[in-house]
Amino acid sequence: MQISQTRQAGLPVHLRSGRRPVRGDVHLETLVPGWNDEEVPSIIDRAIHATVARATHGISPISVAVAYADWAMHLMSSPGRWQALIQKAVRKEFKLGAYAARCAATQFPLGQPCPPCIEPLPQDKRFRDPAWQNWPYNVVCQGFLLNQQWWHNAMTGISGVSAHHEHMASFVTRQLLDMVSPVNFIATNPEVLAAAAREGGKNFVRGAANFLEDLRREGNKEPPPGAEAFRPGKEVAVTPGQVVFRNRLIEVIQYSPKTAQVRAEPVLIVPAWIMKYYILDLSPHNSLVNYLVERGHTVFMISWRNPGADDRELGMDDYLWLGVFGACKVVQAIVPERKINAVGYCLGGTMLAVAAAYLTECGETPFNSMTLLAAQTDFSEAGELSLFIDESQIVYLENLMWQQGYLDTRQMAGAFQLLRSNDLIWSRMVHDYLLGQRAPMSDLMAWNADTTRMPYRMHSEYLRRLFLNNDLFAGRYKVDGKSVALSDIHVPVFAVATEADHVAPWHSVYKLNLVADTEVTFVLTSGGHNAGIISEPGHHKRRFRISRWEADERYVDPDRWYLETPTVEGSWWPVWAEWLRHNSSAQLEPPPPMGAPAKGYAAIAPAPGAYIHQR
């Protein structure tokens, strides 16, 4: 694999050159990157957009306004729809009034609970406490749910509104309704009132203390309470190994063998750089790395550096050349003459697919198999995350990143929290501040709080080339001027999607089957983007569906596949381990040495290395 000297030296592909403009004694480039006289209006615009984006977590108010304008104008020109909505509102008012009357008549001692006139959505856990069935909170709850349902009807199905604008307007409306949910207020939440009566108001004292502690930790950029019990290298990320390579973007960790003999083909894991790698090496009992090592695999892991402002010009190509290809060279030097069982998680899986397609185009095949964990190759059905992806949204994010040099962790986390605001924002506020309780910290929760930054150029290219333009799936994605095609991947593929994934919806992951020209084993497992992957054997209530297709088999649409494929109880890990064994040679041999000092890959430091500790 030939890599240019510039990339081997660890330098970014895109470099600026030339003397920076100076005004008097002030180097304006240090104050405003990209300064020159011709760009003054552009810089002013960018600064304004960046300020707004910082306040809105990168959400463009213009994009939201355009979506509502599209909805409102089409609704105004649809009098038939007005009539239907008015009729729905009247019916709901009568329904709520009748319900309230029945409840008032039966709320006395021998009365029976009133059957509800509307049930919460299956994923809505806010009203599950029995206290919500008591008068008058049952009427308050039913009124809110009916109102929420009416607004959903009003915001969707308006003829002529674009799909993106409909999703955006209905999403924002849902967020506004969630803000005024009766659960969020002391006077209308029976759980909070019962706790206050039971404890004499001590729950509010604890809640105020929790709020002040969270405020202090947020200001000091400290991890959430309890995260100190899950320190990388101490309680999590503890699988023994050595860092055998480091450049400006990655460390490569080689894990120590735990068996006298290992399988001939090594495993290289490419995690997402949106978060830190150790989700795949959490506690010993749920560590995917430990699971593989105990089964006789030689495992290598990429640990990505947490970029700062100086890394603003690192792009997608740098993550490919310095990251994936750089790690491949290390593995091939330590385990020579063996092909690699490559594993990619989330964005790391997307980049791994790019690497495999590009290397095939170049006539090289270093991979023996490829496993994609919750990794998209098609971005046309990116779920609610696509709400934040349009030209206006990306411009605001680009201006924010242009000013900072990166996308900050908290700015990125804000968008993900909005996707599940009931669980991640409002329910947490009620639990922590009104009830005065703290949910116990777990290794997965602590990892989720250990966030990373995204370089300006890379994140802009990622959003535009993949999300907005869907270049990879359409065959327009270029590496070194060459378009890569997913159909050029000819190694066996094991693709895992998760049922409740808000980041990589399983329908999107499934679409790999449309373009794959190879054997594909597809698994759909229970859980979300993270918990569905960390699904070790013995995990409570885990299940999955699995199918295998040859390259020449006919395509089956995802909904039909879901209905026709039986559910298997348990973890998918053992099935994957058997798939790796089946798609590797039967040869067992002594473990390779730790590193290859003669080839420049000596052990540098014990795992988990230095990059994992960067804040």
Q: Helix or strand or coil: residue 307?
A: coil
- Give the C-alpha separation, 405 to 457, whole Å: 8
- Give the C-alpha separation, 348 to 420, whole Å: 23
Terminal Cα-to-Cα distance of the chain (whole angstroms): 33
Q: Residue with structure tokens 């090592």?
A: 293
Q: In terms of Cα–Cα distance, which of 445, 447, 402, 513 is closest to 272?
A: 447
**CA angle 78-81-82, nearest 5°?**
90
Identify any residues that bridge with 544 across adjacent strands, giving them in sequence order. 525, 568
Indicate the DSSP class of residue 269. Answer: E
The b-or-e profile of 330-346 (16+ CB within 10 A means b, else e) is bbbbbbeebbbbbbbbb
362 given a catalytic annotation: no
Alpha helices (H) in 135-273, listed in sequence order: 137-155, 163-179, 190-199, 202-219
Angle at which helices 61-76 and 391-404 cross, to 10°: 170
Q: In terms of Cα–Cα distance, which of 193, 79, 482 is closest to 320?
A: 482
Indicate the DSSP class of residue 479. Answer: E
Which of 117, 328, 346, 362 is catalytic? The answer is 346
Q: Helix or strand or coil: residue 312?
A: coil
Q: Cβ distance 490 to 517 under 8 Å?
A: yes
Q: Cβ distance 11 to 318 under 8 Å?
A: no
C-alpha dist (Å) from residue 408 to 178, 211, 272, 508: 26, 23, 16, 27
- Give the C-alpha separation, 466 to 469, whole Å: 6
Q: In terms of Cα–Cα distance, which of 468, 451, 454, 471 is closest to 395?
A: 468
Q: How many Cβ atoms sit within 10 Å of the Cβ of residue 484? A: 25
Q: Cβ distance 319 to 328 under 8 Å?
A: no
Find the radius of gyration of the CA atoms of the chain: 27
Residue 457, φ and ψ in degrees, nearest 5: -65, -45
Which residues form the catalytic set? Answer: 346
